[in-house]
Amino acid sequence: MGAGSVRARYLVYFQYLGTDFNGVAAVRGVQRAIGVQNYLEEAAERLNSVVPVKFTISSRTDSGVHALSNAAHLDIQRRSDRPPFSPEVLTEALNTHLKHPAIRVLQAFRVPSHFHARHAATSRTYLYRLATGCPRPDRLPVFERNRCWALQADCLDVAAMQEAAQHLLGTHDFSAFQSAGSPAASPVRTLRRASVSLDPTSPFVLPEESRRLQFWSLEFESQSFLYKQVRRMTAVLVAVGLGALMPAQVKAILDSRDPLGKHQSRVAPAHGLFLKSVLYEGL
């Protein structure tokens, strides 16, 4: 810490449309691949911190994945003659200096100096959006493109999908739903919730289209997930909904612990996935 400087740690919630980004994590030294974190840290440079501000991201998301609410912690050291920013002022300042319209800071909190945005999270919830009745992706309303996975099928067997999802609940070795490159030390995770539901009609769909287009939501909650676990679980549940797999086969896939099994080759597209929330004890 610089002489006479005062350090304050903040937890910041932020959201983004992931279409234009190479994931949330900062990309260093590459001009054409930019992460959401690059823009956040660029905005933070304007805060005149004594030392550069670095965002420690709670939940990494891949290229094309969106976030309704992600989180990060950051330290700001101001000179001794300057008091720490209030959370409200910090939120406004970051939004003022953000240079990409697809990112917005939602809220900030002062937290203890030992707080860690990734390790302290008690719950993460992901939302995956599907559309049925769409013969081609370019038949989606323009406002829904890159925000859901368009399926050519007219409907899904939701009851079968819900039955299959029950096999995933609880504490398991999720190796079969883990993609190569995962940094996790252990493949064991506890899935607290997995739901499948029909959404109300999208407000972006014209009445004449709403008779054929339907939208569906899958939600998954856990303290943490393996690399691409949600997209792999989604792909398998969609296969059940389309009749390509039976619900009991999902348990067999889980028990196999084999990420290279014949039913695990497909991963749901990134653009249908949203990080919905990151929760912390006491916040």
Catalytic hit among 62, 75, 157, 173: 62
Which amino acid, residue 254?
Answer: L
The CA distance from 272 to 283, in Å, is 28
Q: Could you give the angle at the alpha carbon of 80 between the alpha carbons of 56 and 104, nearest 5°? A: 35
The CA distance from 124 to 229, in Å, is 13
Task: Give yes or no for a contact between 18 and 100, defined as CB atoms under 8 angstroms apart.
Answer: no
List Cα–Cα distances, 262 to 7, 79, 250, in angstroms.
Answer: 52, 59, 12
Q: Is 39 annotated as a binding residue?
A: no
How close are the terminal C-alpha atoms of the chain, in Å?
27
Using the 8-state DSSP alphabet, how is residue 27 labeled? -
Q: Could you give the angle at the alpha carbon of 239 between the alpha carbons of 236 and 200, nearest 5°? A: 95
Catalytic-residue membership of 81: no
Using the 8-state DSSP alphabet, how is residue 32 labeled? S
Task: Give yes or no for a contact between 224 and 121, defined as CB atoms under 8 angstroms apart.
Answer: yes
The CA distance from 169 to 192, in Å, is 6
- Annotated binding-site residues for substrate read 126
Hey, which residues are catalytic here? 62
- Annotated binding-site residues read 126
